[in-house]
Amino acid sequence: MGKVKVKLYATLKEIIGKDTVFVEAKTVGEAIDNLIKLYPELSNVIIENNGNLKDDYIYLVNGRNIVFLQNEETPLKEGDKVTIFPPVGGG
C-alpha cells in the first residue's frame, strides 16, 4: 500500500474546501473508500445507492481513465495520482 494523491475539481473541491488529499491505497476503489472515510460528505456525491461509483464522474489514474484500465480494481502504487472530475453542465 502506498500514499497516493487524490485531486478533486469543481463541486468536489468546494465541498471539502481543498483540491488535494493524500490517502493510503492499493486500488482506486480503496483510495475512494479512504477519501470518503476522511470526508463522509462526499459519499452521496460520488457513490450510488448501490455502492458503485457514479457513472457521470470521470476517474483518472495518472491521466488515464479507469474505464480503460481495471475500473475500481485499478492498482495503485506510491506516488500515483487519482483525479476525480464531476459532471460538467453548461451550454
**Amino acid at site 17:** G
Average pLDDT, the chain: 94
Cα–Cα distance between 24 and 72 in angstroms, integer?
A: 15
3-state secondary structure of 17: coil
Rounded to two decimals, what is the model's pTM? 0.93
* pLDDT for res 87: 87
> In the predicted model, is pLDDT for residue 89 greater than 80?
no
Half-sphere exposure of 21 (CA within 13 A, CB side): 24
Per-residue pLDDT tens for 32-56? 999 999 999 999 999 999 989 999 9
Q: Is the pLDDT of residue 3 over 90?
A: yes
Give pLDDT tens digits for 7-25: 999 999 999 999 999 999 9
Fold of 2-85: Ubiquitin-like (UB roll) (3.10.20)
